[in-house]
């Protein structure tokens, strides 16, 4: 039992040391970093001002200023949890939140930096592990600035904070509350990844891993644990634990569900003085803010203010489960570290075999070329007529003589992994893009100025461009816009009679007779339900009916404003695709097109969520078989224990593959060595053959053979 406790303590000490070293390095690098070396998503000035606006109501008053407003008067002391290099602590004093600050952190290096920068200010610092060691006592306010999401044992930490506060003490948080280990949800990956795919390559250099990434994806869990095992360890579940110890007084949602995964590491590539760069990020901010405000996208960052509950919830079933869960996550984390170490050792053993195999392959290639040259040289000697006769008479070289040329087998694909950290030479056209991104890019690139049919872009993204479309119950200019935007080859307008019959109003020629690939129908009040049967008869084989339903309370409008922007509305919309392109075509045409396409993309997404107008319900039916239109994203795995268990399985498979690869590499090296020996033997044989061919002449054979050969050679 004592050994188990000692092993546990040693593992905790190693983890604390790794976390402390990481944040000490971060503090040193942050102190020396230039102002233009922005890494974090919120270091773009308009983004930071928008965050301050959402928290305090003013773009010039940050989270500390809002805390001062909440407190109304300075307090004697504030406990700064996870203070790092102390920038928050100095701000607390500067904005009059308190008279004294006590900062605690696990990183001695970060605290050394904080002490140096604090100078003579009334700030003291204590180095301790906040999950296991008691905090200083009796503070009216404790402030946690992006620290709680680094805590695994939430129960112990929050009980510790609870004990450190006065009876009516306040607990203020500005925290990342998004998915644990930054394992973004499918919706986040889809939206942020779509916007990322619009960016020209020069904007995709990530300054954190220092490589160009051509696709936005979830961070690697093993890599995160290897750098900082505390990063977002249980961020997705921590707030429900907080509310067991504290009563919530205020919550301000900041957002970041799209911007955080999109801009982290690449925000330094944007120039705040460049109009196109500002417009691009403004559009992404607009989407992020709208989706967060409507509850479509959960906020990734929150400011929350809590009051201490009278008694901590000790001894409850929830507390026991919390302790067990923290232990499970910790054990998984340790096993991931151990498997990564074993994997590194296995790859270290495999590396000389890989190098030896590569050397043997190069040697075999050179020998194979030498064999080919020898064969060609000998073939030229054997091509003379008298040598052909000589071979026939003397049997110098018979078919099948000599060793065969042996070429080692090619290395099976997948046995030896390649280094995927290096940027691949991917062209702009090859980058991963969703169907909606391709549709808006096509419109921004090809379409003339006119109305934008957002539902048509949705249709194109879902099913591809249509040759023909029939539009029922929509405004007359829509048919022209449908063709002009390239959404379909030809379009017709029609109406539904009371009897359920379909009357084609335009064009009156044969072009409006159908059949149609797509029928778009906006039902009017009082239209018969049987109209769907008449519509089905106008659909081509495999054609689709798109039914647009305007929600009640829209004033009886039959024009789905959420999905249709008229020409006038489009020309005044922000941004205007063609105006943007015309203004910036000479300076940066690729970014101008990206901004134009992003403007359309944002309009489409907001309209699809009912945020670009009154909202709209879209149903898509295939002829003869009604079915739902767009499939929903699969449920995201947001349980960190399940995610880490999946990572453990992946690492165990990689380790087994590494062991198998070692045996296979040994066999490949043996085969390659045998091939080298065989090729060397072949070259020796061919050199002896060439020597014999050059040294033997007709006079070495009977006189009648020599006479005959000379006679033939002289007659040529």
pTM above 0.75, yes or no: no
Does this chain's domain 2-308 share its CATH topology with 435-626? yes
- As given in the structure block, the two tokens for residue 217 are 């994806």
157 with 134: CB under 8 angstroms?
no
Distance CA 430, CA 397 (A): 55
Question: What pLDDT does residue 126 have?
Answer: 95
Backbone angles phi, psi at 145, to 5 degrees: -105, 100
**262-277 pLDDT, tens digit each:** 999 899 899 888 888 9
- Matching residue, tokens 């002009």: 484
Let me know if domain 2-308 sits in CATH 3.40.50.150.
yes
**Domain 435-626: which CATH number of 1.10.287, 1.10.3470, 1.25.40, 3.40.50:** 3.40.50
Task: Spell out the alpha helix ranges (H) of 510-587.
Answer: 531-538, 567-572, 577-584
Across 366-375, 528-537, 680-689, least confident range: 528-537
- As given in the structure block, the two tokens for residue 410 are 């090619």
Give pairs for 522-526: CB < 8 Å, separation 24+. Answer: 522/472, 522/473, 522/474, 522/547, 522/548, 522/549, 522/550, 522/558, 522/559, 522/560, 523/473, 523/496, 523/547, 523/549, 524/473, 524/496, 524/558, 525/556, 526/498
pLDDT band at 285 (very low <50, low <70, confident <90, very high): very high
Question: What pLDDT does residue 438 have?
Answer: 80
Distance CA 233, CA 336 (A): 13
658 with 350: CB under 8 angstroms?
yes
161 with 140: CB under 8 angstroms?
no
548 with 616: CB under 8 angstroms?
yes
pLDDT higher than threshold 50 for residue 554: no
Question: What pLDDT does residue 252 have?
Answer: 95
Helix (H, G, I), strand (E, B) or coil at 401: coil
pLDDT band at 73 (very low <50, low <70, confident <90, very high): very high
Pairing of β 466-472 and β 452-453: unpaired
**118-160 pLDDT, tens digit each:** 999 999 999 998 988 999 999 999 999 999 999 999 999 999 9
Across 36-40, 383-387, 409-413, 669-673, least confident range: 409-413
> Average pLDDT, whole number, for the chain?
76
Question: What pLDDT does residue 208 have?
Answer: 78
State percent of the chain over pLDDT 70.
69
What is the secondary structure of 435-495 as a DSSP string? HHHHHHHHHHHHPPSS-EEHHHHHHHHHH--EEEEEEESS-THHHHHHHHTTSEEEEEEEE
Backbone angles phi, psi at 470, to 5 degrees: -115, 125
Which of 335, 383, 82, 65 minimizes the C-alpha distance to 221?
A: 335
Question: Inter-axis angle of helices 589-608 and 577-584, to 10 degrees?
Answer: 160
Across 39-48, 367-376, 430-439, 554-563, least confident range: 554-563
What is the secondary structure of 35-98 as a DSSP string? TT---SGGGSHHHHHHHHHHHHS-TT--HHHHHHHHHSS-EEEEEEET-TTSHHHHHHHHTTSE
CA 468 vs. chain centroid, Å, equals: 37
- Structural domain boundaries in the chain: 2-308, 435-626
Average pLDDT over residues 63-73: 94
Which of 475, 476, 483, 398 minimizes the C-alpha distance to 448?
A: 483
pLDDT band at 422 (very low <50, low <70, confident <90, very high): very low
**324-349 pLDDT, tens digit each:** 899 899 999 999 999 999 999 998 99
């Amino acid at each position: 039992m004592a050994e188990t406790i000692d092993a546990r303590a040693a593992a905790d000490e190693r983890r604390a040391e790794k976390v402390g070293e990481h944040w000490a390095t971060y503090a040193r690098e942050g102190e020396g970093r230039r102002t233009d070396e922005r890494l974090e998503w919120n270091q773009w000035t308009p983004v930071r001002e928008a965050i301050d606006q959402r928290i305090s109501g003013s773009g010039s008053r940050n989270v500390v200023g809002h805390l001062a407003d909440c407190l109304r008067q300075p307090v004697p002391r504030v406990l700064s949890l996870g203070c790092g290099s102390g920038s928050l602590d100095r701000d607390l004093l500067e904005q009059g939140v308190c008279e004294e600050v006590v900062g605690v952190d696990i990183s001695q290096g970060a605290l050394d930096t904080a002490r140096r920068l604090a100078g003579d200010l009334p700030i003291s610092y204590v180095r301790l592990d906040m999950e296991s060691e008691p905090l200083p006592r009796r503070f009216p306010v404790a402030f946690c600035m992006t620290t709680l999401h680094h805590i695994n044992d939430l129960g112990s930490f929050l009980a510790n904070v609870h004990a450190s506060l006065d009876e009516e003490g306040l607990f203020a948080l500005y925290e990342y509350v998004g998915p644990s280990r930054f394992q973004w949800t499918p919706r986040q990956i889809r939206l942020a990844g779509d916007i990322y795919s619009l960016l020209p390559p020069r904007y995709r250099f990530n300054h954190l891993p220092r490589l160009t990434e051509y696709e936005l994806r979830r961070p690697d869990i093993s890599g995160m644990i290897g750098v900082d095992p505390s990063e977002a360890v249980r961020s997705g579940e921590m707030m429900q634990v907080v509310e067991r110890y504290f009563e919530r007084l205020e919550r301000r949602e900041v957002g970041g569900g799209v911007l955080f995964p999109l801009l982290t590491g690449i925000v330094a590539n944007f120039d705040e003085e460049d109009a196109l760069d500002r417009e691009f990020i403004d559009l992404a901010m607009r989407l992020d803010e709208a989706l967060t405000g409507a509850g479509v996208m959960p906020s990734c960052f929150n400011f929350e203010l809590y009051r201490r509950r009278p008694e901590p919830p000790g001894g409850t079933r929830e507390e026991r489960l919390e302790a067990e869960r923290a232990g499970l996550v910790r054990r998984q984390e340790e096993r991931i570290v151990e498997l990564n170490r074993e994997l590194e050792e296995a790859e270290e053993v495999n590396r000389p075999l890989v190098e030896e195999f590569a050397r043997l392959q190069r040697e075999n290639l050179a020998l194979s070329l030498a064999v080919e040259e020898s064969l060609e040289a000998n073939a030229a000697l054997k091509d003379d007529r008298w040598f052909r006769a000589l071979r026939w008479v003397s049997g110098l070289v018979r078919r099948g003589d000599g060793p065969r040329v042996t070429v080692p087998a090619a290395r099976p694909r997948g046995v030896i992994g390649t280094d995927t950290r290096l940027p691949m030479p991917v062209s702009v056209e090859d980058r991963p893009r969703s169907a909606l991104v391709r549709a808006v890019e096509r419109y921004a690139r090809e379409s003339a100025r006119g109305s934008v049919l957002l539902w048509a872009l949705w249709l194109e993204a879902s099913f591809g461009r249509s040759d023909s479309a029939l539009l029922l119950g929509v405004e007359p200019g829509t048919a022209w816009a449908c063709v002009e935007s390239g959404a379909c080859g030809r379009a017709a307008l029609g109406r539904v009679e009371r009897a359920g019959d379909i009357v084609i109003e335009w064009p009156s020629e044969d072009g409006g007779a159908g059949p149609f690939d797509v029928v778009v129908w906006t039902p009017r009040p009082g239209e018969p339900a049987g109209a769907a049967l008449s519509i089905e008869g106008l659909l081509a084989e495999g054609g689709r009916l798109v039914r647009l339903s305007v929600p009640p309370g829209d004033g009886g409008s039959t024009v789905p404003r959420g999905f249709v922007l008229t020409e006038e509305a489009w020309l005044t919309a922000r941004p205007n695709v063609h105006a943007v392109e015309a203004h910036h075509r000479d300076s940066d045409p690729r970014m101008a097109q990206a901004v134009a396409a992003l403007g359309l993309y944002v309009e489409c997404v907001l309209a699809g969520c009912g945020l670009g107008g009154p909202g709209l319900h879209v149903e898509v039916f295939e002829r003869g078989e009604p079915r739902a239109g767009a499939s929903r994203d699969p449920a995201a795995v947001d349980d960190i224990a399940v995610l880490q268990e999946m990572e453990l399985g992946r690492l165990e498979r990689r380790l087994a593959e590494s062991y198998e690869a070692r045996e296979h590499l040994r066999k490949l090296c043996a085969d390659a060595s045998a091939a080298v020996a065989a090729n060397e033997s072949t070259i020796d044989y061919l050199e002896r053959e060439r020597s014999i061919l050059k040294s033997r002449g007709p006079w070495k054979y009977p006189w009648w053979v020599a006479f005959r050969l000379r006679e033939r050679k002289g007659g040529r």
